[in-house]
Amino acid sequence: MTVFILYNQCYLHKLIIKYIYWLNTVVFLFNPLPCCILALTITTHHSRKFFSGKMGLFKAAGVVYKPVEEIDLGPDSNEFYLKANVKAPRMAGFLVKIFAWFLESRIIGTLLLYILKRNNLIHKLVSNATLEEAPMFVPLHPFVDLNEQEVEQIGSDASPAERVQRAMNCLPLTLEKSVDDSNSSSFRRWTIADYSRAYSSGEITPRKVAEQFINAVHESSRAALPMSFFINYDAEDILKQATESTLRYERGDPISALDGVPIAIKDEIDCSPYPTTGGTKWLHKVRPCTGDACCVMRLRSCGAIIVGKTNMHELGAGTSGINPHYGTTRNPYHPNKIAGGSSSGSAAVVSAGLCPAALGVDGGGSVRMPASLCGVIGFKPTFGRIPHTGVLPLNWTVGMVGILAGTLEDALIVYAAISGQLPSHEPTILPPKLLFPLLNSTNPISEIKFARYGEWFNDCSDEIRICCSNALHLLCEHYKWKTVEVTIPEIESMRLAHYLTIGSECTTSLSSALEKLDFAELGWDARVALRVYGAFNSKEYIKAQKMRNRQMQIHKNIFAKADVIVAPTTGVTAYSIFDDALKTGELDYINGAALVRYQISGNFLGLPAVTVPVGYDKEGLPIGLQFIGKPWSEPTLMHIAFAMQALCISHYRKPKVFCNLLHKN
């Protein structure tokens, strides 16, 4: 039985289904005596081959990577596209517990982890690989003047409120339009500009909006399928902020266009008066929140109403947003589907109309992925662009504060508020000036070239492939922009190197707390994730950073051919939530790999990226198209995203769960 577990690539669900006496196996595995006798009792032909190395247990040769200058990045390159080699079944409920127990056992766990790493090609592509590049530990990019078109320059020392005003001046004039509850073809979400106009005209007050917000959140938690938008929100604190904002409008003295606008914060970012849980039941006890993160302080200084801490996947260690402690955040377009993770709550509150924008943290697509699944804008700036002070240090070199918004215009406004000079202890590599895109320009930017890697672009569901291909064709046809076919090599190697990096940094940052932690306080899926993360060693981490340097060079060469890389945002749309996962979480690495497939370069290489809703699948679930830019090219990305949004916005659909906060009755 023990041999079967190892030999069958850890497909524990097959073991449990096939063998009625699985309990005996569990007892056997956790009994120290049989574990010690294991090597003496294995006699089958296959097991002898397995442990002798003929089937590869102790034979894990690594790839020898050719020099970057020898790689052909053209469309006819002989570089092989390797699809994600994920070999793991979906597990939830009792199966997750069994698997966690296996991994946490000293001897069997070590063997299982070795096999998991080997069978998912970590040994071959990263651990034992030969790379000539030096390691690059932080993806800091030197400033290069990109000569971006149609931009406005703003001094980096301008106050957040001043930056917001300058951003407002960059927006096009829009016709006032109500959210139509009966005609889905005319649906649009209220924007920050809508809130500002309604407050200034006296049609509604921030206090009234706050009351409606509190009622809506309360109702959403009492629904047949609780939406679980928030981990924490304080009605009294929200009403206090809203009352102060209402008085400022009555005096005719609002701070900025953000004054009185509800903004939600992912529970990975410090925000008084709330604890910062990271989606756990214990982290806030060992790391108390002592004040606002820098990005939150800047939003407050603009008058925004901070409405609470949104739900998230525990420790950001998953893609579904299923949290066994605080409930599963559900997708407003279909409450039986996931919202995506880890910034699940932030995406869902924007999608459902509770906030025009929210903050998330993007360590592995954690902003862009749920934004795409929930049908909203997800924007991740260049690494180092937004202050990271006050954000949980779960992944130092891949995580970035990002923005989820109903429209690109709202993403720009929030970006204006939270960007700017960095605190003195953070790397000071920012460009000398902030550049905002002139979205109100009558001269669209010209001669944009999109790099498209066909095999990678098409490695998704048919509905996503067709929808994204049509959207890209429409964009290029309308603006006379071009697509350049390229090859982006070693994408799967980069994904594994990123996974190794984010896992190593997470366990290192939590090491002191984990040594004292009762693992019963962790969700079962988080226990599995942390056990896998902890299996990476220093040699593997260094190899991953060598891969980072290598991919930085490769992408620099790609950007010599084109301005932007284009791809779907996710490989699948939102999938179903099953009851067996609600209390334990789930392990669904096949769907997980499909969700992160197009995310990695934004995090591992620190590149800016944005996702835009471009359509829906047959179930009415949103599909996003992603644009990945050169370092510091946020204005160009926003121009492109705005252009894409303009072509698609008339077809946007209203979610099944939606709240109209500017409704006066």
Q: What are the catalytic residues?
A: 266, 342, 366
Give the span between the Cα atoms of 420 and 242, in whole angstroms: 26
Q: 321 by DSSP, 3-state: which?
A: coil
CB 333 within 8 A of CB 325: no
* Backbone φ and ψ of 227, nearest 5°: -80, -25
Half-sphere exposure of 503 (CA within 13 A, CB side): 25
* Backbone φ and ψ of 160, nearest 5°: -55, -40
Q: Which residues of 592-609 are buried (b: 16+ CB within 10 A; e: fewer)?
A: bbbbbbbbbbbbbbbbbb
* R_g (Cα) of the chain, nearest Å: 25
Give the span between the Cα atoms of 4 and 10, in whole angstroms: 9
Give the span between the Cα atoms of 421 and 435, in whole angstroms: 13
Single out the residue of 564, 655, 583, 547 nearest to residue 125, CA to CA. 547
Burial of 576 (C-beta count, 10 Å sphere; 0-12/13-18/19+): exposed
Residue 516, both tokens? 């004292």
Q: 425 by DSSP, 3-state: which?
A: coil
CB 347 within 8 A of CB 402: no
Name the amino acid, one letter, at 651. H
Residue 136, both tokens? 């690059």
Q: Where are the beta strands (DSSP E) in 126-282?
A: 151-155, 230-232, 262-266
Q: 267 by DSSP, 3-state: which?
A: coil
DSSP 535-549: T--HHHHHHHHHHHH
CB 383 within 8 A of CB 268: no
CB 350 within 8 A of CB 405: yes
